[in-house]
Amino acid sequence: MTEPQSEGNERLEALLVEASVARGRGDHRKALALLEAAEVLDQTDARTWDLRGDVHADRSHFDLAMGCYQKALELDPDMPETHDKLGLAALGRLEAAKLSDRAQRGSEAASLRRRSQIAMISSIVFPGLGHLWLEQYLLAALYAVPAAACLLCASFLLEHKALHPGSMFSLWLGYGCIGLLVVLWIVAFIHASHLAAQRDDEKLY
């Protein structure tokens, strides 16, 4: 072996050792930089790719880790530990995908529950608002229009009674409109709550 080759091999070994130490300390950026320098010295050394896969696996970058392990095995198929690492990286990727899916579902569920809560609160404010929030526009109109009409009629009749104290008919008719408005309010709230719960079940299950 010539002296330049010997120096190159020593340099490669030193870089791999430094990269391994940096990885052990959690300095993944430095470890990857050292491994890139090692690859420049020798692109056929499987250990460089194997260690690079370890660094990516530590960072839960399982796709990158699998690619590095596969490259290492292409350069040197006789690496049983790398075969094991490749399998573990594949399992890690699968588990990460499951966790990501669970997190996404949890976020969607929280968003749906917030929308349902807003719909129910809106129904308390005025009949039909909850249905409007749930994008049930026809139902929103069916509740809101009669409720608004009852409110206007009650206001007019009670004001008329105040101007004409002897008009008991206006008083009782005004109270009747108020009663009807209350019934509409309660029914709209119950119906909006039911629709919100039904929508949550359909979206989540």
- The string of pLDDT tens digits covering residues 136-156 is 888 888 888 988 888 888 888
45 within domain boundaries: yes
Q: 55 lies in which domain range?
A: 3-78
Query: Span 196-203, mean pLDDT?
Result: 64
95 within domain boundaries: no
Indicate if 117 and 191 belong to the same structural domain: yes
Indicate if 196 and 111 belong to the same structural domain: yes
| Long-range Cβ contact pairs of 24-28 (< 8 A, separation 24 or more) | 26/58, 28/55, 28/58, 28/59
Q: Is the pLDDT of residue 47 over 80?
A: yes
The residue assigned the tokens 């969607």 is 108
Those residues with Cβ within 8 angstroms of residue 202's Cβ, 6 or more apart along the chain or in another chain: none
Residue 161: per-residue pLDDT:
61
CB 62 within 8 A of CB 56: yes
Q: Is the pLDDT of residue 1 over 50?
A: no
Indicate if 114 and 74 belong to the same structural domain: no
pLDDT above 70 covers a percentage of the chain that reads 78
Indicate if 73 and 111 belong to the same structural domain: no
Indicate if 121 and 69 belong to the same structural domain: no
Indicate if 70 and 128 belong to the same structural domain: no
97 within domain boundaries: no
60 within domain boundaries: yes
pTM of the model: 0.49
**Higher pLDDT, residue 162 or 168:** 168
Lowest pLDDT segment from 12-16, 20-24, 110-114, 136-140: 110-114
In a 10 Å sphere around its CB, with 0-12 CB exposed, 13-18 middle and 19+ buried, how is residue 91 labelled?
Answer: exposed
Q: Is the pLDDT of residue 203 over 70?
A: no
Residue 146: per-residue pLDDT:
87
Indicate if 119 and 198 belong to the same structural domain: yes
**Higher pLDDT, residue 55 or 135:** 55
**Higher pLDDT, residue 104 or 42:** 42
Q: The tokens of 171 are what? A: 């008083």
Average pLDDT over all residues of the chain:
81
